[in-house]
Amino acid sequence: MSKLSLTKINCGQNFRTNEDGVSTLMASIKQHGLLQPIVVSKAKVRGGKHDLIAGFRRFIAVKKLGWTDIDVTYSDINKTIGNITENLQRKDPEVYEIGRGINSLIVNEKMNKKEIAVKLGLNLITIDKYLDIYKLVPLKFRKIIKNAGRGHTLRKGNDYIPSTVAHRIFNLKKKGAINSTHVRTLLELTLQNPDVTTMNITRIANKLAMGGSVSGAIKSAAVVREFTLRLMISETEAVAIENKTGKPLGVALRAYFQKNIRKIRMEIPAMKNK
């Protein structure tokens, strides 16, 4: 293990865009230090830099903390293979990013699916599932899926799709909850409606899968957004109100708001703990 300047590390475009959990990691590193080094390529690439193989969030965390260098270990492992392997080991793997990485190995590094399966420890059926999810996404969406914080904040425009929201959609497809047409519809809805967030995309997807009114689900999401802003609460807190009352979220929020706004603000902490 040795130290390496952050300016000598290349993340590259194939690295996932989701930075969820970085704030928590920053707090941990600030208190305990960096407990595990990141992994970089042994060979130097463009500009004398080393490719980042594993440890993207750790890299981002220390960078935001103002560090100038970081503990690293060097490896000969293929960068994309390393990225995919790290993603697969996460509690909630990002299926789209895994599919994109596998596609990159096939297109850019001329590897066949059998070779990739052996290196990743996956079977060919699983490799195909990840590829299918990546390939069902139209090109126009691939270019605008990007990181935007935690994906539950209100967007001001419709020029991108938060990677965290897209991740939820792709996982629903992987689990068989929605089909390919649903995926494209949900991506378009997310792009066109800033009210669609990680907090409500599953609810909207379920409505769509059951043949329900998507416009109604979007309208409900807008109502939720309106009341969460008026009450100065998060959508997580709003869901706690829904669970407490047993009523649809928009109805529950409207009733609570009209009843007594002060009482609502006093009850929210208790609801969150139940």
Give the model confidence (pLDDT) of 161-200 as tens digits: 888 888 888 888 888 889 888 888 888 888 888 778 877 7
pLDDT of residue 49: 86
Same domain, 170 and 248: yes
Is-above-0.85 flag for pTM?
Answer: no
pLDDT of residue 258: 62
Domain edge (last residue) among 89, 112, 135? 135
pLDDT of residue 139: 83
Q: Which residue has the tokens 């194939």?
A: 14
- Residues spanned by the domain of 104: 79-135
Same domain, 163 and 266: yes
**Distance (Å, whole) CA 62 – CA 34:** 8
Same domain, 186 and 66: no
Query: What value, to the nearest 5°, has the Cα angle with vertex 87 and ends 234 and 121?
Result: 150
Q: What is the pLDDT of residues 6-62, one digit of tens each?
A: 988 887 654 554 555 688 888 889 888 998 898 888 877 767 888 888 888 889 899
CA dihedral over 30, 22, 273, 256, signed as positive or negative: positive
Provide φ and ψ at 89, rounded to 5°: -80, -10
Same domain, 122 and 202: no
Amino acid 240 reads: A
Domain edge (last residue) among 135, 152, 173? 135
**Distance (Å, whole) CA 37 – CA 128:** 32
DSSP notation for 242-264? HHHH-S-HHHHHHHHHHH-HHHH
pLDDT of residue 266: 56
pLDDT of residue 244: 66
Mean pLDDT computed over 215-237: 64
Same domain, 241 and 158: yes
What is the C-alpha radius of gyration for the chain, rounded to an integer number of angstroms? Answer: 21
pLDDT of residue 114: 93
Question: How many domains, in total, are found in the chain?
Answer: 3
Same domain, 105 and 57: no
CATH code for the domain in which residue 24 is found:
3.90.1530.10
Domain edge (last residue) among 120, 135, 150? 135
Same domain, 122 and 146: no
DSSP E strands: which ranges in 96-193?
145-146, 161-162
Question: Can you read off the two tokens belonging to residue 182?
Answer: 């649903």
